[in-house]
Amino acid sequence: MEIIIRPDSQQASLLAAEITARLVREKPHAVIGFATGQSPLQLYRFLIQMRREEELDFSQVTTFNLDEYVGLDPSHPESYHHYMWKNLFGSINIPKDRVNIPDGQASDIPAGCRAYEEQIHAAGGIDIQILGLGTDGHVGFNEPTSSLASRTRIKTLTARTRKDNARFFGGEDKVPHHVITMGLGTIMACRMCLLLAFGKSKAHAVAQAVEGPLTAMVPASILQMHPRAIFLLDEDAASELQRAEYYKWVYDNKPDWQKYG
């Protein structure tokens, strides 16, 4: 696990974009896992800018999204299909047939989840998975007590997560109760994980995930076992880390060949 603390979310997001862009340039047929929510929005804006100004080419890239609400039509303004086309895919040259997002309207959800895992395997696995972090330490929609070996499946959202997402739906009563999400085992199989966390509200979850025990009660803590998990944080999100100064020292003193930016 590598912890990178930047002065603000913009600088952290730019570094995430540079890491992602380097992969796309070096491996044009890369497989990228994307996330939704507030944390990756600046990253997506930087990728769009790189496409526009540097002709970053996504034409051979294959994508897989972490999750989707069960029961929402892809055209619903809060569906993750809609989110991705609005905030990224609609502004880059990604072919529609190379985009994969869980089908929240599948007639057979378990079969759809198995098929999603098979699609990831057939694509050669995920090179970089973008992640956010919930205030309770969840990643994707792997809520506390999720199996650390879990694969893509249906999950029931906790009351806390539904409350956190209520502002997007215009009320807690309108938030779906169920989602399809990649499992923690699926995430751990990705070759690199980039987790973005910003703001004071994420500080406790960050500290638990990075410096606390590995436990299903903090699902993100499984990333302690990942060979290439990178946490990209702003100062506020890093404010409860006991070894924050050490993480900064390590990053500042990397050899040039090992640096990302």
Selected catalytic residue, list 103, 127, 138, 234 = 138
What span, in angstroms and rounded, lies between the C-alpha atoms of 115 and 129? 19
φ/ψ (deg, to 5) at 93? -90, 55
Selected catalytic residue, list 68, 136, 164, 235 = 136
Contact by Cβ (8 Å): 190, 128: yes
Which regions of the chain does DSSP assign to beta strands (E)?
2-6, 31-34, 62-65, 67-69, 99-100, 128-131, 153-156, 178-181, 192-197, 229-234
Strand-strand pairing, 178-181 and 153-156: antiparallel
Place of tokens 């910003």: 198
| Residue 127 bears catalytic tag | no
Contact by Cβ (8 Å): 202, 218: no
Hey, what are 231's tokens?
């946490």
| Residue 143 bears catalytic tag | yes
| Residue 67 bears catalytic tag | yes
Contact by Cβ (8 Å): 223, 138: no
- The distance between the two most distant Cα atoms of the chain, rounded to a whole number of Å, is 53
Hey, what are 87's tokens?
């905030």
| Residue 138 bears catalytic tag | yes
Selected catalytic residue, list 68, 127, 143, 234 = 143
At CA 158, angle to CA 5 and CA 75, rounded to 5?
85
Which amino acids are annotated catalytic?
67, 136, 138, 143
